[in-house]
Amino acid sequence: MARRTREDAAVTRARILASAQQLIRERGLHCVTLDDVARAIGMTRGAVYAHFRSRAELLGALLSCAEADFAARLAPLSRGACGTGPRALQQALAALLHGDDIARHVSLLAFLLQHKCGDACELCPLRARVLQSIEAARETLAVLLPAPGLASLLVAHLWGLLSAQALHFAPSGHSGCAASLARLYLGHDGLPDGLPSATQGILANAICDPALVRDTP
């Protein structure tokens, strides 16, 4: 009986998280409350609060889902299973851009990135986790690029693609553009090919700034 109870609780928790992700993507996180999540799956407010005592706790669980998704996609690269060179970068980008699942996290990450609280609050640690994840992704991708500083620009580029997908401005999945994106970032002298000389100069001076993507909406 105890095992069944734990299994039921896990199923209910998964339903709550899936419902919250869907509502956030449809309405935006600012418009979603725990009551909204409960109504969407036909549960009482008390039943949802039995699993998540606050909105911040629910967001923390959703962030854990996002972290696990990104980690799983980058795991082959972290283990060195993709090798090195253009093919390795292409495979890593294809994994990050494959399907719709990863785009579902965009609204949550954008909300937490934009959160700026003067005093310590429940959301501040979540924002710090997002920034740590961005830095980890940047470091993982940097080993495949001709200039490590390019990784910040690539992360910002990936964020823009995923944001467009989340807003339905782009077709489902971007994995088909992984090869072109890899070629773009493996240009000469550590800068993408085809950029005007003035733009290359600006990038050469600013590209190593890790704050480049921190507050990207």
Q: What is the pLDDT of residues 181-216, one digit of tens each?
A: 888 888 744 444 454 444 444 444 444 344 444 443
Please give the mean pLDDT across all residues of the chain. Answer: 79
Separation of alpha carbons 216 and 206, rounded Å: 16
Between helix 124-142 and helix 55-78 the angle, nearest 10°, is 10
Backbone angles phi, psi at 100, to 5 degrees: -100, -15
- For the residues 172-187, what does the mean pLDDT come to? 81
Same domain for 41 and 69:
no
Structural domains counted in the chain: 2
Domain that holds residue 26: 1-53
Could you give the 3-state DSSP secondary structure of residue 191? coil
Do 183 and 87 lie in a common domain? yes
Asked if 33 and 54 count as a contact pair (C-beta separation under 8 A), the reply is: no
> Does the pLDDT of residue 47 top 60, yes or no?
yes
Are 61 and 119 in the same domain? Answer: yes
Q: Are residues 109 and 18 in the same domain?
A: no
Give counts: helices (H), strands (E), the chain. 10, 0
In terms of phi and psi (left: phi > 0; alpha: psi -120 to 50; beta: otherwise), the region of 63 is alpha
Question: Is there a single domain that holds both residue 34 and residue 68?
Answer: no
- The answer on 158 and 72 residing in a single domain is yes
CATH number at residue 15: 1.10.10.60
For residue 9 the two structure tokens come to 């609780």
Distance CA 56, CA 181 (A): 36
Question: Are residues 36 and 60 located together in one domain of the fold?
Answer: no
> Predicted confidence band at 63 (pLDDT cuts at 50, 70, 90)?
very high
Within this chain, do residues 45 and 100 fall inside the same structural domain, yes or no?
A: no
